[in-house]
Amino acid sequence: MTDGTAVITAAARAVDARKTYGTGEAAVHALAGVTVDFPQHAYTAIMGPSGSGKSTLMQCVAGLDRLTSGSAYIGETDISTLSKTELTLLRRDRLGFIFQQYNLIPSLTARENILLPLTLAGEKPDEAWLDEVVGTVGMADRLGNLPSQLSGGQQQRVAVARALVPRPDIVFADEPTGALDSRTGIEILTFMRRAVDETGQTIVMVTHDPHAASYADQVLFLADGQIVDRMANPTADRVLDRMKRFEG
């Protein structure tokens, strides 16, 4: 580039990311030097054995936790340099989150929960986009319900809509289908896939489930705090075979 403008191809990335819990002999190297790009407009799954560092990687890249050393970027923002307040604003304004437990506010209706990130940011919803997302997740006729009046699958659809409506730069999902039956899980994964294909959303998802990972464009495999493999265009069978190699 001659004009000094950087070309951004990664929605998020980590550079020699290290996270150590504890000290001395008790030290656990949850991330032991991870360098990775999460491409824009793509769906990336993170897999690996229990304790391999999946959640730690996601939390550190998403600004929910801090690295011990190395850097994590959202777009061109080096989040390791941000203050706590700046991180909170970055998460609110640029990121979406979907967790295994839906984390809805019990006293707010589905619509109010979906709009909460925009309400907190003092922004008005784009009603056409809201209708589209709500329609895509099939919740148009339940918007007045409280979470307690919705099934687990419906609550997760609300959580998916809440993550997508503000059009975040990137959505981080930690085991989004972990608490759902397989049919409802497939619906949620299909909505997330559609968000990438039809609206150019970027998604990073931690999962244990090879079938869930097969919805992604690529799967990153972590072991002992390091990325040990990457699979493009995954199928559930290929992911399962790769995971079996971690056993024994």
For residue 163, CA distances in Å to 35, 195, 225 come to 26, 11, 28
In the complex with ligand ATP, the residue whose CB is nearer, 44 or 52, is 52
Query: Count of alpha carbons within 13 Å of 43, Cβ hemisphere only?
Result: 22
Q: How far is the CB of 223 from ligand ATP (least distance, A)?
A: 9
Amino acid at residue number 17 = A
Q: How far is the CB of 104 from ligand ATP (least distance, A)?
A: 22
In the complex with ligand ATP, the residue whose CB is nearer, 110 or 203, is 203
Q: How far is the CB of 200 from ligand ATP (least distance, A)?
A: 28
Three-class HEC string of 110-177: HHHHHHHHHHHCCCCCCHHHHHHHHHHCCCHHHCCCCHHHCCHHHHHHHHHHHHHCCCCCEEEEECCC
Q: How far is the CB of 47 from ligand ATP (least distance, A)?
A: 9
In the complex with ligand ATP, the residue whose CB is nearer, 112 or 229, is 229
In the complex with ligand ATP, the residue whose CB is nearer, 54 or 242, is 54
Token pair recorded at residue 31: 């991330």
Distance, CA of 243 to CA of 221 (rounded, Å): 8
Closest CA to 97 of 132, 64, 120: 64
Q: Which residues bind ligand ATP (CB under 6 A)?
A: 21, 28, 30, 48, 50-56
Neighbours of 164 (CB within 10 A): 27
Q: How far is the CB of 78 from ligand ATP (least distance, A)?
A: 22
Q: How far is the CB of 130 from ligand ATP (least distance, A)?
A: 33
For residue 50, CA distances in Å to 1, 29, 223, 242 come to 42, 14, 9, 15
Q: How far is the CB of 237 from ligand ATP (least distance, A)?
A: 21
Token pair recorded at residue 222: 């972590």
Query: Count of alpha carbons within 13 Å of 189, Cβ hemisphere only?
Result: 24
Closest CA to 171 of 108, 84, 91: 91
